[in-house]
Amino acid sequence: MRARAVVAATAAIAVGAAIGGAMWRRRHREPGSYTQRFRVQIPRPLITRRLLFELLDAQPGEHVLEVGPGLGYYSLSVAERLGPKGKLDILDIQPKMLHHTLRLARRHRLPNMTASCGSVEALPYRDEVFDAAFLVTVLGEVNDPARALRELHRVVRPGGRLVVGETLADPDWVSPQALQRLAAAAGFRFERRTGPRLGYFSRFTRA
Ligand SMILES: C[S@@+](CC[C@H](N)C(=O)[O-])C[C@H]1O[C@@H](n2cnc3c(N)ncnc32)[C@H](O)[C@@H]1O
């Protein structure tokens, strides 16, 4: 009887700590630090590069923006797809992430990648310059996601694409419904989604 009470109390404390931790993170959003980069290396069965390519539909010669590339898990393959006439701009709030990704791009002989340090909430680009933009497991770390989406809407050309990837393995997960509401408010039209709620890419068109 006593053992059962101890187990129940331990479970209640663990659940409480998990909920409390999640709420704290929501109120104190911050980018995952470079020292926690092992997080980026975990397997991603639901948000694969192949699925991203399918939704982003990047064509050789296009100009694409990736926000929050981290260690470049998706960046290198997208830059390769864009070819020598295309261009991938990567923007991250942490310079270390950019240095890491650029180093990899140099090693893979991909000169079509340009990096800028800054926040997605105030993008350092002119209006309507990108054919497409994407961000994977980034939006939940941003202080003002509504403003971030308005900025993305400003820099993507009319008819251009926005692809957002999220996974529940990330503590800052954004649900597909919350994303759709934010994106619609910023002027994006929802097109389609891959995968279940717990790991998905959503594609939008810039109206
Ligand atoms: C969890 S990592 C994801 C990295 C990569 N997209 C991936 O899937 O492997 C989140 C990235 O977003 C960046 N980030 C967080 N807040 C940001 C902001 N406001 N503006 C630009 N980048 C941001 C972080 O520095 C980090 O590189």
d(CA 173, CA 166): 6
Per-residue pLDDT at 75 exceeds 90: yes
* Alpha helices per DSSP H over 28-144: 49-56, 75-82, 95-107
**Which ligand 1 atom is the nearest neighbour of the CA of 47?**
8
CB of 94 within 6 A of ligand 1: the answer is yes
Residue 184's Cβ-count burial label (10 Å; 0-12, 13-18, 19+) is middle
Per residue in 91-142, pLDDT (tens digit) is 999 999 999 999 999 999 999 999 999 999 999 999 999 999 999 999 999 9
Coil, strand or helix: which one is 57?
coil
Q: What residues does 167 pair with on adjacent strands?
A: 199
More confident residue, 15 or 59: 59
Domain boundaries, given as residue ranges, for the chain: 1-30, 33-206
CB of 97 within 6 A of ligand 1: the answer is yes
Per residue in 76-92, pLDDT (tens digit) is 999 999 999 999 999 99
The CA 206 to ligand 1 mean position distance, Å, reads 22
**pLDDT number for residue 22:** 47
The CA 11 to ligand 1 mean position distance, Å, reads 32
Per-residue pLDDT at 27 exceeds 60: no
Per residue in 32-71, pLDDT (tens digit) is 665 555 555 567 899 999 999 999 999 999 999 999 999 9
The CA 192 to ligand 1 mean position distance, Å, reads 23
Per residue in 150-196, pLDDT (tens digit) is 999 999 999 999 999 999 988 899 999 999 999 999 999 999 999 89
**Which ligand 1 atom is the nearest neighbour of the CA of 40?**
9
Question: What is the architecture of the domain spanning 33-206?
Answer: 3-Layer(aba) Sandwich (3.40)
The 10 Å Cβ neighbour count of residue 51 is: 18
Global confidence as pTM: 0.86
d(CA 72, CA 79): 10
The CA 34 to ligand 1 mean position distance, Å, reads 10
